[in-house]
Structure 1
């Protein structure tokens, strides 16, 4: 083989592995900035300067070496599941390659193994954990114990249905619609058998765990980082999913007769009770996001501090948007610290802790209010119109507050004492 053909083969292999790394990171729920940095460090370890352009349809990679460059296009698989264990291992692979600890062959073997790795937890355990998450969310929104029990059953069954539909490769928008319909019908029928004080939560809470919180947050973070095309694509898909969920819940109200009011007060629990149910809520997302047990406790701590701190601020008179922004910053700072301690991406700790803040209830009620406005046409009562607009604005502001709080917190450098301590632990 000539030197030229050998260089071409090396370039082709580096391009293939770099694109594979980027695709796996994005498919596992990594944000755009983290994916770009990981791929560029990875390729640099293989001896190539790299520029990566990420779009919703594809990855465009340019490798530069010895005044020559090669451009290659790879497929982009949008994240349908969040796998923080995979993100951590892929990031570790990129770092070890960048520092010369892995060559191309070892990196290729590692990537292949990671691509075929099964989730840490069985789907039955994930379903049961998410049932507990939804039930705990119902308590955070003021539900009583009959509602808690009904939501647990409805959400667990709804999650099993969603998992099975995913295994059958059903259309991505049909999955949340059918899952929301099934869980909503079960929740509504449960309230018919054992009425609770807030029956609407038996439909809303199971739907909240279907909301694509991570794509919503990543979409806004892309906008902050000026990745506007990718941001609009992610946000548009997330909005379509929310509409699909709300449509499924609306159909469930027609079947069961249990309505979802457009307006309603926001519950504010005592701080210690809020902390307890926040911990249970986060546990479900730890299983759903495939977080390793080694760092699970840190995720739960971030979740408790995040949600309970927002509740504390609201008890002190702060509005919900400002409280969400500040508590998201707290979660981001804790995630930043834990990421250095455990040598894991900060999103491993941040995402499970803030997803409970995503305003799924506001979004559902806004969509249902919009459906009511369409049905009533010109005879819609003005309070319904005003409340629907208010809910839509709150949804946008709260989701933006979460993303901005995380972005600001993760951009703040750690104090020198913590960097020194972390380096001492890793040496």
Structure 2
């Protein structure tokens, strides 16, 4: 009985670890819940239940012994779809019987500690190029392409830099949008740029929470009302931070 109890807890640890990595990396609520229950079923726990919110996971396993339940807290979330795909790959290996419980736990632990994000400079360069392309997409002029790249790149640099010292995303997004508005205004004033609105719009697109909005809508459509509403509120707060930063700059025109 003791061995069976220990085995159940080990299965729950693997399920919760997989769910934690996916949720912290931007995975949808229904995908996290489905993955956890599939892993549990693959290891012999047919009756399992998971309840996932953006800030926590509750998982329970039913068996011959009394039902076991565990809660873990999710304190930080980001967007790292590569980790989500890697957890899905490990989950498929588990359900296909290719790896055992200990190997699955080891792989997930290594994945949790693995840093697969792009280097700081690569993220800034990508944001810079994306800003120029977004500006063109919004029917801006080609002579504003370079100013948009400069504005978007410096704005995203500010976002990453301030987020290291200020863990609250609202403030780092507010400061980043303020930088974007200020630099765009300066470039237009000195004659380097011509369309202030297009430069600003193209530059702030790198801060817009597109994945968060998408996941919020998908969670609401799937019936996960708590997760959908909370993610929608988080996206709304981000939009407010971006708008406030730009509004502070434009108010001094």
Q: Are 1:31 and 1:218, in contact at CA under 8 Å, matched by a contact in 2?
A: yes
Partners of 1:191 and 1:86 in 2: how far apart? Answer: 41
1:70 correspondence with 2:72: no
SS of match in other structure, 2:132: helix
- What TM-score do the two structures reach when normalised by structure 1? 0.57
Q: Are 2:29 and 2:53, in contact at CA under 8 Å, matched by a contact in 1?
A: no
Q: Are 1:147 and 1:199, in contact at CA under 8 Å, matched by a contact in 2?
A: no
Matches within 5 A, 1:351-370: none
Matches within 5 A, 1:188-207: 188-207=185-204
Q: CA deviation at 1:196?
A: 4.0
Unaligned runs of 5+ in 1: 258-427
1:220 correspondence with 2:188: no
1:127 correspondence with 2:149: no
SS of match in other structure, 2:83: helix
SS of match in other structure, 1:133: helix
Runs of 4 or more, structure 1, over 4 Å off, are none
Which digits, 9 at most, give the CA deviation of each residue in 1:190-235, with x for residues without a partner? Answer: 1112254422122222112101111111111111111111111110
Q: CA deviation at 1:88?
A: 0.8
Unaligned runs of 5+ in 2: none
Corresponding position of 1:116: 113
- From 220, 225, 234, the counterpart of 1:237: 234
Partners of 2:161 and 2:57 in 1: how far apart? Answer: 30
Corresponding position of 1:137: 134
- From 50, 53, 58, the counterpart of 2:51: 53
SS of match in other structure, 1:200: helix
Q: Are 1:26 and 1:78, in contact at CA under 8 Å, matched by a contact in 2?
A: no
1:151 correspondence with 2:148: yes
Partners of 2:128 and 2:58 in 1: how far apart? Answer: 40
Which digits, 9 at most, give the CA deviation of each residue in 1:280-302, with x for residues without a partner? Answer: xxxxxxxxxxxxxxxxxxxxxxx
Partners of 1:170 and 1:22 in 2: how far apart? Answer: 23
Corresponding position of 2:243: 246
Q: Are 1:135 and 1:148, in contact at CA under 8 Å, matched by a contact in 2?
A: yes
The number of equivalent residue pairs is 252
Aligned-CA RMSD value: 1.6
Which digits, 9 at most, give the CA deviation of each residue in 1:354-389, with x for residues without a partner? Answer: xxxxxxxxxxxxxxxxxxxxxxxxxxxxxxxxxxxx
1:175 correspondence with 2:178: no
Partners of 1:66 and 1:96 in 2: how far apart? Answer: 27
SS of match in other structure, 1:173: helix
SS of match in other structure, 1:155: helix
More contact order relative to length (CA 8 Å, sep ≥ 6): 2
